[in-house]
Every structure is written in structure tokens, then in C-alpha cells.
Chains A and B, each alone.
Chain A
Amino acid sequence: MIRITSRWRNTLAVALTGVSLFSVAAASAAEITVWCWDPNFNGATMEEAFSRYKAIHPDDTIKVEIFEKAAMEQKLQAQLASGATDGLPDIVLIEDYRAQKYLQSFPSSFEPLTSHVDYSTFAPYKVELATLNGQTYSIPFDSGVTGYFYRSDLLAEAGITPDQLNDITWDQLIEIGKTVKEKTGLPLLPIDPTSSDWIRIMLQSAGSWYFDADGNVTIKDNPVFKAAVETYQRLMTAGITTPVSGWTEYTGSFTSGKTPSTFSGVWMTATIKANADQSGKWGVAPSPRLDGVEGAGNASNLGGSSWYVLSSAPEKEKAIDFLTSIWAKDVDFYQKILVNQGALGTYLPAREGEAFKASDEFFGGEPVWQNFSTWLAAIPAVNYGIFTEEADTATVAQIPAITSGGNVDEIIAAIDAQVRQQIQ
């Protein structure tokens, strides 16, 4: 309401002063509306970006609207489907897994930015994810390179040193979990049984996904998928995890020390560093790898997202100008959001900046950003396709069966059958 009202006021002001429309568009104060889902992370980086833009354009304002992620995605999808563009933002954040779904389902709803941005300055895989029929639609934002975040002080109580966490397999991590449980009584990892994040991380770490490069289902008879489900089953039945439900309970678990570690994308840094009193007590190790799988590595990806401008945006020109002049230009900005929010941008020139090379006292003086950059380069590229949501749902439906020790082949066959049925 407020946004609409103020826009009407602007329009009225324009009409009253009788200035020609063209010059007003350049001079009048614009309010850019943005939808995203994390006040500590993408919301905070957007605010930071805009504060830099405001220094040059003092009249403009931004309105960052934060939603719960799934709610925001469903709201966007419902509204795009309705065809009514009133109430849509100027800029929206979309997770990489879902980008192609939106681009293909709602043609001409998003603004191609190919003519505004030099995409050779962004990580190629991010550009690829937002490209359809030769047009690229996004300003690539963050990478979801994964790491194993742990409380070094709590693991030290169990006699675990950082060296023991380097380049290990999942089964070695399970053994470490058992030691930790025995010595400290703490479950090593919080796991939400209604999310397939862990299986997705394992799949991509070995260069696999629910689908192959052409979008064919690769679930049944995929050795990586089988290894991932088996590893997840061993993890869940080893007694070293605690079930959590929902995001708040999940993040609360490791930030309060109820569990000494978690396994997530680099963007989790923002949530962890929000607890300043835990400075120096955290460490980051590379992701574990799948045992006995060809192509399995110690690098994977979880999430990662990009900014999109809507074709219907009332402040479209302004939004594009803002995104290109900060997000596709300002190297210094990327240093700041890296240190403050743990946002590992995919703007390549920013990698040469100081912050990327600095060590971080919060993580015990380790050069964590350099490590993440190294792991980032090692992530196997996969095609997320357009049906990741369906495949996730089919997988999550089987998690109770996996956790209760069900037959892995039967479970995989059930997931495969459901996904094949759902993707027509």
C-alpha cells in the first residue's frame, strides 16, 4: 500500500509540475522494490549495495521486502501465473535451482540483461543458469560452495583436530561423529528430515544430479544416487544426528552449541557470524566426499541465487542501472559483503580484492575465503534442469523409509517412478 501510495504521489507531483516526462524520469526520486528471503544475508547485501548507489543518486530509495523463501517463490509463481503485474517488485532474488523453471514457464516476464551487462566478468556457470535462447536474464549473485562448519572448541574436547577433518569421506565423518557423541554427548549434526539438501549436496559433489545434461531422469541405475542414499542412511542411523524441523530450529541448533557442526553453503557464514561471542571458536573444512564413487570430490554446492529484473517493473530502468553500476562493477562492494555477510559473489574481478585473500579471526585466523574460492573452482557443473522441486519432493517423501533402514534399491525405484510420472 505504502509503495503504491508513494508512487501515486510521485506521479501526481510529475503531473502538477508539468515537467516533460522524459526529464522527470531521470530526475525524480524512484523507489526500487526488491524481494528476497534472508535479512542477514541477501537482504543485508542488497541494503549495502543500495547505500553505495544512494551516494550517487541521493533521491532514490529502496524497499527490501523479506519473505520466507518458499513463500516468496510461491507468491512469485502465483502472481506471474495470474498475469497481474501490480504488486510485483522491480527486482527479485531467485535460487539457481529454480531459475530455468521460471524463465521457461513465464516467457517475457523477466527482462533480458544481455545488452546491459558484460557477462564475461561473471562465473560462467552462473551465467549459464540464467540463459535461455541466447538471452541472459540475471545479475549473478552468490555461490553456494559448501563447507563443513564446526565449533573447533567443542570438537577439541572430543580430541578432534582440524587436520582430521581435511579431505575426508562421509564415513570418516560418521566415525568422528561417534567419537564426539561418546566424549561430549553431543550429536554431531542437525538434520531436517523434510529437506533433501544433504542428498543434493552429495549428488553434486560427484558431478551428478537428478537429471543429466539433456534433462533425462538419472535416479535409478545411477551409482552416485545410490551411494548418496546409502550414505544418508548410514548418517541417519549412526545416532550422530538430531532431527530439527524448520529453518529456525536448524540454525538455532548449531549457533547455540547443541550440535557442534553443520554442513552448508558458504552463505551460512552470515548466520554463524551473527553470534559475535563465538568468534575464534569456529572452523571450516571442505565437504566430505562419497566413498567408492567415481568422480567424487570434496567440493559441492548448495543453493546460490541471482537477481532478476521483472519486465513489468515500474522502475525497470532504474533497477537495471542500479544493478549494473554496483553489482556488476563495484569490486570494493564485494569485499565488504564477503567480510560482513559471507557473500561469496561470482563477479570475477572481485576475486582479486583484498578481502578474498585475508584471513578471518572469527574462523581462528584461517584464510577461509581463499579456501572457499579454491573449493568453488572444484565444484562439478551439473544441469539442475527444471524439475528439481518435483525430484526433491519425491526424495523427501522417502526420507522416513531411508531413515528407518528401508531397502535402498526399492526406495530409489520409488523415487524414480514418482519423478518420471511428475515431470510431464
Chain B
Amino acid sequence: MSQDPYDFLDHDLLSRLGSLPVESRMPMVGNVAGKHRSPHRGSSVEFAEYRKYVPGDDTRRLDWKAFARSDRFYIKEFEADTNLRAYFVVDASGSMNFSGHGESKVEFARRIAASLSYLLVNQGDAAGLSLCTEKLHLEIPPSRRAAHLQRIFDTLKDLEPEGETGLVDALHTIAEKIAQRAFVVILSDLFTDPGGFSDALQHLRYRKHDISVFHLMDPQELSFDFERPHRFVDLEDNTSLVVEPTLVAEEYHTALNDFMKAVRDKCHDANADYQLVPTDTPLEPLLREFLTARLPKGK
């Protein structure tokens, strides 16, 4: 029996989640027809609105019945459906390697990105991947092809975080680079300057991207439940610090809470979805809740 090369993929989970579509909360601009709303009026069966005829309009779209009733020319407009282009921005800095007692943050990010990519491609949408560190910004453009999905999986599989984070720069790059509206999913511990992160989010918002942030935190980072003195070695730059945890626990929690509040507020300001995700969270309820929350109302 051959071993599954992508052990971060849970096929049972994906099949259970298959009935839930990955929806965008904003109209998407795709290059092919799809199931997502487009900001442009198109030729789908779903009526959108009437508008007055102006010279130059396609006379085939005149509603003659309306003209007969009102003696005025109206153009009948319909919703245009298009496909979704999703970018998974995975923080590949050294801090993502941290694991307290269980799964590391990068492993958790890998599972989320792979699962959502699979679901997207499976429903005919495009998924792309962006890995970022201070020095490296690896990008796989979105594509709807199944072979492309394998490339994403391979990239995720080979992901080995190191160095300092380059998340902010990566987000700015993505905002500038993606010409059309897209669904940007950020998977990071966000250990960067909240001000810079906020600017990057605003940049993405300005470009009318749908943003979703998975804030990945290890339970031990949240609880800081050490007792004896420890030497803490920074995963990003290897600086070290000997600390009596009981002495600094209170200040640590205060600083952490301040940071998380700031991040959450910045996300809210940028109209981005924010989810704090401790890495001991079961994946299925997390994704199910995420997908369900994104369904259009009434569906």
C-alpha cells in the first residue's frame, strides 16, 4: 500500500465538506463563467435590474414588453456569474515553526490552505499560493486545473519556514500584482508590526479584494504556562532570553492581549474576516464554520 504523499490532506474531511461551496463575500471578476457573482452585468438567467436605454446599447437587450407598456426604452440587465480566484498567503517565517505540545502553526496552515485549495479547484474556481519570508516570496498564480492543485500541494509539502516574516511586503506585492478582484486568505501568526499589517490590509481592500485572516496561535503562546526559568530562543533570529516565567506572565498576557486586540481591530477596519485559531482546534468544525459563514444569506 502506497503512502499518501500529502498527509496534510484529510480526504474524508474533504468529502464531508464537499457539499459546502467556498463563496466570496464580494462580487468577483473572473475570466470564465462561474458560480460567483460578478460586478458586471452578464447573460445569466438571474434578472438584475432595468435601466434606461442610451444610444450605443445593444438593441437586442431592449425589453419590448416594457416599451409596449410604457412607451419608453428600457434595457433589461441580468447578473453575470464568474469564477473565483483565491490566493492563499502563508507566512513562512521561522515563528510559524513553533509547536508547544502538538501541531506546529505551519502544519496547521498547510492543512487549511490545502483543504480550501482542493475545495476551490473542485468547485471550478482558481487557487493560488503565496509563501512569504523576509527574503523569499514564492508565488504560484491561481489556476483552475487539477494539475495546478498538485503543484500547490507539493509546494506546501516542501514548505520549511525560516527567517523573519515578510508578510506585510508580500501582501503589498499581491495587492499590486493581482489586477482583478480576488479572495485573499492570509494564514499567519501575524507576529509583525500591526501598523504595517494594517496598511497592507487597507491596500488589499482598496483593490477590492475579499480578505480572510486566519490568525494562528499555539495554545502555549496563549497560556504561557511555564513554571521554571527558561531560556527562550527566538525562532526567527535566534536571539535568546533567560526568563523567570512567573515574573513576567502577567505582563506577557497584557502585551499579547493588546496585540491581538490591535490585530482584530485592524482586520475589522479593513473589512477583513478575522479568525483567531489556536492550533489545537479541530479542522473540520473550523472549516465548516468558515464556509458556512461565507454563504450568501438566503442560501
Chain B binds chain A: no
On A, residues with C-beta under 8 Å from B are: none
